[in-house]
Each structure stands twice: as C-alpha cells, then as structure tokens.
Amino acid sequence: LARRPARPRLPLDSARFAALLGRREQVFAIGATVLAAKLAKCDGPVVRAEIDAFKRQFRIEDAAIPTIGHLFDQAREDASGFEPYARQLGESFADNRLALEQVLGALFAIARADGPVNAREADMLARIGALFGLGEAARARAANPSGGNLGEDPYQVLGIARTSSTEAIRAHWKALMRENHPDQLAARGVPAEFIARATERVARINAAWDAIKRERGA
C-alpha cells in the first residue's frame, strides 16, 4: 500500500524553533498561534467562538492567513507540548514584558470566549505566565485587561509595592512610560496590533500615577 505523505511537524524543540525562525516577529507569530490553539484545545474540542476570538486578538494579514491557519490546525490536535513555545517567547521578549503581558491577556480573552475560564484553562494560563517570566502583578493585569474600573488598585497597575516612596513610584512610572512608547515597542519587534493596544495600557499607567499623587498629595 502506498504511504500517505507525512504531515509537516511542529517545531516543538525550542532551540530548533529559534534557529529556524531567527526573527522575533516570526517567533512571536508562531508562538502566539500555537499557544492559542493549544489553550483552546485543553478543555475539549475547539469551538468556533475560540477561533473567532483568536482572529480578533491576533489580527492577521491576509497573506499570512493560510500559513497561520495551517499552524493553528496542527497545534490544536493536542493540548500538550505548549511549554517550549511559551519558554521561547519568554526568552525572546525578556526585554519587553509588555508584549508578553499582552499575549497572556489575549490568551485569557480566548479562554473566556466560550464561557468563564475553567480549571484546565486557568492552570495552563498560570503555567504560560510563569514560563513568560511575568510577575504576579503582570499576570493579574493580563487576567483583567479592561482596566479603568473604579476601585482598581493603582499600585497593582504600576506593579509596585504600596510601601514604596513617592520618588521611587515616580521613577517607576517614568520607566513604564518609556517602555510603552510606540517607537520603543516597534524597535523591540512588537507586532503593530499590540503597539496599538499599548495606548490603553499607557492610559491605565497615567491614571494609576494620578491616583497615587492624589492619595499622597504629591
């Protein structure tokens, strides 16, 4: 009997993954796609709502749709094996935690697409956040990305301890503003759609700093 041609395999080995890609933009696109597909699969069959959420969260150029679609279909066959992709993204974007936080936020949105985040999804998201190297405050912001709500803890938004001095908080706020500047994000290889989302993040950072200044009379 004639053998069926072998299907292309996903580059699950993180070292080979990096060598094959080379460019951070490609690492980002492939890593985010695989993580989204495996997250959608982790609690059962992938449903249309999750696919639509992926398309909304990661706006894909028309020319890339066939390739990304094929990669997504391959990755969603099995929820296991996501760790090398999360680890590689964390290493590739270690100098840009904002991009990693936004990816995690997008994954939370995909998990919520078919209902509240369940235990399997929550466990996988927690492991991805850890492999990204994100701190507790960043993971909390990713889980609740809407922001701007009354009562939101401004110290948590900035990711700094309430016991910090006003000058230390001011310096941290300035550093966050520099880190989130569109030119800085573009230079670090962050995709355009996430640069656009950084505007909302900047608004939250400024609102948090304003709230702290009012609280402290600074």
List phi, psi (to 5°) of 14: -65, -35
Alpha-carbon span 155 to 119, nearest angstrom: 28
The parts of the chain modelled with pLDDT lower than 50 are 1-21, 148, 150
Q: How far is CA 94 from the centre of its chain?
A: 12
pLDDT per residue as tens digits for the range 60-85: 777 777 888 888 998 998 888 899 99
Task: Give the chain's domains with CATH numbers.
Answer: 10-145 (1.10.3680), 153-218 (1.10.287)
pTM, two decimal places: 0.70
Q: What is the pLDDT of residue 9?
A: 46
Are the beta carbons of 155 and 114 closer than 8 angstroms? Answer: no
